[in-house]
Amino acid sequence: MDKVCAIGVVYSADEVDGLSTRYALSAPVIIVNNGGCPEPKNAPVSWTFIRSDGNVGLPKAKNAALCLALKKFPAVEYFFFFSPDVSFNDDSVFHLIDLANRDEKIACVGWHRCVFGGSKEQMRVIGDYGECVECGDAILLVKRQAFDSIGRFDERFFLHGFDIDWCRRAHGMGWDIVVSMSDNLFRFRTDDAAPKSVWCQEKIRRDNFMLDEQYFGAWHNWRMEFAPYPPSCGGIIRHDVFQEKWRIIR
């Protein structure tokens, strides 16, 4: 698993507790503390933790971990982004890598349960995988060469939409987005999500509005879930410099 680096973002002490039991990985792991929660005491020594002084947004946090991974693990070929609410192991990631290697045009591999709205309705299933144009980042394996070609996550978003935007940019540049159709690879916790603050809700509304305007124009109130829309042909967004305000814990 030396070709893979796993990246996760946490916001609370509850998410930190039990990380090592839910993530049974032999690959390097980078955890971003993006909420000022206490540092974990029982996590594997091989894991790397970084933190910011406050919530800087999910795409910026993931880009920071990506920059660190490129510095610390220069031979890495895949980045596996995961949600703290998901349980998985090496076999789960190996399956995604197998799908990613079936075609050089595949930019990333997600899970079919992370495809929503009209994209799910239009997904074309081929055996054990499906082809689509967008997939959520709760479970997402991305090829390094895809990031080199497409650019990284757009930090103008805060919490929602950056993953959809990245997939749309990839699709618009000729890359393929695929998802595993297996139901047994991953398991989500059933805990109820913590209520979001008014400040965070406003950020989410802004994300959704910006995503709709980017791809839908004036139709930003047309849908409740993400539906098909023309792929982005905008410029490549790159974030190549590891920002000094991120502090490496270990």
Q: For the segment 150-208, what is each residue's pLDDT rounded down to a tens digit?
A: 999 999 999 889 999 999 999 999 999 999 999 888 888 755 455 567 777 778 778 87
Total domains in the chain come to 1
Average pLDDT over residues 75-83: 95
Confidence band for 231, pLDDT divided at 50, 70 and 90:
very low
Q: Is the pLDDT of residue 69 over 50?
A: yes
In a domain, 249, yes or no: no
Q: Which of the pair, 19 or 57, is modelled with greater confidence?
A: 57
Q: Which two three-digit tokens encode residue 171?
A: 């699709």
Average pLDDT, the chain: 79
Whether the Cβ atoms of residue 90 and residue 23 lie closer than 8 Å to each other: no
In a domain, 198, yes or no: yes
Task: Give the model's pLDDT for residue 210.
Answer: 82
In a domain, 245, yes or no: no
In a domain, 248, yes or no: no
In a domain, 205, yes or no: yes
Whether the Cβ atoms of residue 170 and residue 164 lie closer than 8 Å to each other: no
Q: Indicate which CATH number applies to the domain containing 104.
A: 3.90.550.10
Task: Give the model's pLDDT for residue 193.
Answer: 54
In a domain, 243, yes or no: no
Task: Give the model's pLDDT for residue 5.
Answer: 96
Comparing 14-28, 64-78, 121-135, the range with the smallest average pLDDT is: 14-28
In a domain, 202, yes or no: yes
Sheet holding 86-89, edge to edge: 23-24, 86-89, 187-188
67 backbone dihedrals φ, ψ, rounded to 5°: -60, -45
Task: Give the model's pLDDT for residue 98.
Answer: 96
In a domain, 144, yes or no: yes
Average pLDDT over residues 120-127: 86
The parent domain of residue 135 ranges over 4-238
**Residue 38 vs residues 32, 100, 128: alpha-carbon distances, Å:** 12, 36, 40
Average pLDDT over residues 222-247: 34
